[in-house]
Chains A and B, each alone.
Chain A
């Protein structure tokens, strides 16, 4: 620093004054966002001063930062990951008894909404009446992978994510469990645990449902805007190749969904495919992208472009479009097949209100509550007896194939193949190269 002062001390008083005035001028010019050209002498003297100042400031900064950067090199996880079979998750202190709250993160448009007030959710309000627990409901999950990467740093560092309950799709559960990021449930808080449908009670990603409770189940299908195309769309192949849809197609950013569609289009089975099939699917998607067919790879926000009419055809989650209630926005089960999936509530490590969250899981496992929820969101109930409850609640909904799928739809629906976490990471990485 002293060098800067010294350089200002050289020269005649008049030069010094000039340099000083120049520095002030520049400061003023910079403040006004202007850069003013000045005479060569001024510029030179000012430049010398400023350069040495800059140099000294930079050196000082380097010294401080150098010390800090050594410490910053590399980060260690708070805990080593353990095999999924042994994982129990890491419990924090449970404040459930004193804090009657649950911080619940879910996907957009995935819960019932009061017809008079869109900020009210009747099922959550009933839960509050019964238990006195307030649910802070946030719709901040737009994409499984993106959400996982958001909470990952906190969980890896052994910190609370600020969430007590999150909803993740089937294929993410092994990843969360392998890293030991979700907690084992206390089944004594969930007496309705036995209410799950037989299909949902024993899933490969969580046998016996010790860590997760299903929220809803559905299909990945196609939706189109009947006002904007004359010929209805019936197949996945059309989605990827039909010329009149160029630049009007939205695919999912979610690897599982779009790969499954490409596999269907190639005549493969998403429930049973090889690495070669996967690579062929990637190439198929790349081809459509290069041809300008694809307008966007979207998360759950695909609906905004679709309702504005910017995308004419989109991959869609089965209930979403029906829930919009617009008659010219049609949902189609593609003839090649559709992907079937289920979403699961789980409790991340160090959640402050684990017991409360378990109470909410238990609440949604009641047939009547599940019927009320699924009647609104148009997804498939995961609770035994919910369909019967739905018949008394809303007879028309019970005949809606999106909520109660027919044998025909179930026949072509496939679940995504169960893959190891390492495989999932490899596939996700490859898929990211096509989308970004």
Chain B
């Protein structure tokens, strides 16, 4: 393992040569930071500075036409929350449902590919990833055509009275699939599934199949082997996969925009709305973004702590 990693561009620790060869220490000490510099610069310019501008904008007042002034108007946060708390709730709910469905669908899929895929493993994984080669937007718009109100699928679901049932429980509206909460969640699951499957597959694939045999030898049922051996070993994949799904899903607005209706508006759309439709809306939009970031961070921290994988963060 260590022989391989040496080629991966990870700089050797500066301490390694320090004691035996003091003169070379200085030169080697700088290398890691030199290699880090582009990334740090990138982070400062495209992450740290925007965060500061965003936080700063969230306590400003004014309009684009008249200019903005930093007045420390904390009420932007209260205003934003009061006006859009429903959208926040909906975003979190949709992201949670999306994550759960992705996990329920992604785990068996990753398990199957990792343990039963055999020589087809690479091909099967490629099949999971290949759809992402087409633009996210185009794939979502394609669903609009596939699930069109006068399309085959909607007619079939309608004739089978499935839509009647889903409408009754509030998942769909009337006799159509598009422009409903169900369509939004399905679109999200479809778009984010590869993000769940990839980390799951990587962690499952690393598990030695002989551990399963050992489990069986020790009189564990297949289910118990999974629960006591496979699942704990695949937890990093589960945590990684759910995080990679949940975090972008909370901020996602494309699915709600294209597949939803005016009653499925999520916080991303509200931010966009404030930002693009209202020339006085920058502070509220920024305040909403800051609240969203803080909420996501809090949820992720609690989740990671509960999931017991401190070594991940």
Contacts and interface: CB of A to CB of B under 8 A. Distances in A.
Interface of A: 1, 5, 8-9, 16-17, 19-21, 23-25, 27-29, 31-38, 42-43, 46-47, 57, 60-62, 64-66, 68-69, 72-77, 81, 143, 145-146, 148-150, 152-153, 156, 179, 228, 246-248, 253, 289-290, 292, 294-297, 308-310, 425, 428-429, 432-433, 435-436
Interface in B236-273: 236-237, 239-240, 244, 261-263, 265, 269-270, 273
8 contacts: A8-B14, A28-B5, A57-B40, A57-B43, A61-B48, A66-B52, A247-B176, A248-B149
Contact of B236 (A37, A228, A308, A428): A37
Contact of B233 (A37, A152, A425): A37
A69 B52 contact: yes
Closest 9 CB pairs of A and B: A34-B202, A43-B311, A436-B273, A69-B52, A35-B240, A35-B236, A24-B5, A73-B70, A77-B67
A35 B150 contact: no
A5 B236 contact: no
Contacts of B233: 37
Contact of B67 (A46, A75, A433): A75
A27 B310 contact: no
Contacts of A72: 49, 52-53, 56
A296 B173 CA distance: 13
B237 A35 contact: yes
A76 B67 contact: yes
The secondary-structure label for the interface of chain B is: helix
A436 B16 CA distance: 59
Interface residues of B, number: 75
B132 interface: no
Contacts of A28: 5, 8, 10
Interface stretch (B91-99, B210-218, B274-282): B274-282
Nearest to A76: B67
A337 to B, nearest CB: 25
Given A24-B8, A76-B67, A309-B148, 8 more contacts: A9-B18, A37-B232, A62-B48, A75-B68, A146-B277, A149-B277, A294-B262, A436-B265
A230 B189 CA distance: 37
A225 B279 CA distance: 36
Contacts of B80: none
A310 B148 contact: yes
Point out which of B65, B178, B279 has the most chain A C-beta atoms below 10 A from its C-beta: B65
B203 A292 contact: no
Contacts of A292: 173-174, 261, 263
A25 B262 contact: no
B262 A69 contact: no
A179 B198 contact: no
Given A5-B14, A68-B52, A432 B236 contact: no
B262 A297 contact: yes
B75 interface: no
Interface string B45-79: 00011011101100010101111111000000000
Contacts of A246: 173-174
Given A68-B52, A156-B64, A23 B10 contact: yes
A5 B36 CA distance: 14
Given A33-B199, A37-B236, A152-B279, A289 B273 contact: no
A162 B55 CA distance: 30
B276 A149 contact: yes
B134 interface: no
A81 B65 CA distance: 8
B137 interface: no
Contacts of A42: 311
A33 B128 CA distance: 15
B312 A35 contact: yes
Contacts of A69: 49, 52-53, 55-56
B33 interface: yes
B309 interface: yes
Contacts of B49: 65, 68-69, 72
A404 B69 CA distance: 50
Contacts of B2: 21, 24
A75 B263 CA distance: 35
A150 B15 CA distance: 54
A263 B236 CA distance: 58
Contacts of B66: 77, 81
Contacts of A64: 44, 48
A379 B66 CA distance: 36
B293 to A, nearest CB: 15
B29 interface: yes
B116 interface: no
B159 interface: no
B286 to A, nearest CB: 12
A429 B278 contact: yes
Given A24-B8, A74-B68, A296 B40 contact: no
A176 to B, nearest CB: 10
Nearest to A38: B311
